[in-house]
C-alpha cells in the first residue's frame, strides 16, 4: 500500500458530524443541510424506466470509458450547450460516477503531463474535498 495514504487527514464531513453531535436546530426552523451532496429531488420516470428496462445488464461490468453512444451524446450536448464546442468523444470525454471520481481522475491526468523538468504545483481551496488531497 502507498505509504503516503497514512498522511491523509480525516474526512472533513466525518469531523463535521463529530462537531455537530448533540446539536439540534431550533424547533421553529428547518435545518439547511450543507453536507454530502445527496440527491434531494425525485428521480424522473424516464430514468427509472430506463434503469428498470436494463436490469439484465447488471450481470456484467460497464466499460471504463463508458458506452460510445453515451460519449457521443455528451459531445452533442456540449456542442448544443456551449455554442458549437467540438469535443472528440473518443479522447476528450470520460463519463464518471460522481464529482469525487472526476476530481481524482482529473488531478492524476493533469499532474502526469510534466514537461521541461518543471515541478507541478497544485492549488486547492480550503475547505476542500478530501479527494483533492488523495489525488
The C-alpha cell that represents 66 in the structure block: 463508458
User: What pLDDT is attached to residue 17?
Assistant: 80
Task: Tell me how far apart the alpha carbons of residues 122 and 111 are, in angstroms, rounded to a whole number.
Answer: 9
Task: Tell me how far apart the alpha carbons of residues 23 and 20 are, in angstroms, rounded to a whole number.
Answer: 5
- pLDDT tens digits, one per residue of 73-124: 999 999 999 998 999 999 889 888 777 777 777 766 666 555 667 776 766 6
Amino acid at each position: 500500500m502507498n505509504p503516503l495514504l497514512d498522511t491523509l487527514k480525516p474526512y472533513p464531513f466525518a469531523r463535521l458530524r463529530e462537531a455537530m453531535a448533540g446539536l439540534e436546530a431550533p424547533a421553529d426552523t428547518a435545518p439547511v443541510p450543507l453536507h454530502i451532496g445527496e440527491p434531494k429531488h425525485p428521480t424522473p420516470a424516464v430514468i427509472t424506466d430506463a434503469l428498470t428496462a436494463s436490469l439484465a445488464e447488471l450481470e456484467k461490468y460497464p466499460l471504463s470509458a463508458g458506452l460510445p453512444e453515451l460519449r457521443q451524446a455528451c459531445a452533442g450536448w456540449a456542442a448544443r450547450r456551449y455554442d458549437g464546442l467540438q469535443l472528440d468523444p473518443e479522447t476528450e470525454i470520460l463519463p464518471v460516477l460522481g464529482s469525487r471520481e472526476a476530481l481524482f481522475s482529473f488531478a492524476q491526468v493533469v499532474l502526469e503531463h510534466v514537461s521541461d523538468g518543471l515541478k507541478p504545483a497544485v492549488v486547492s481551496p480550503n475547505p476542500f474535498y478530501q479527494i483533492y488531497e488523495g489525488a
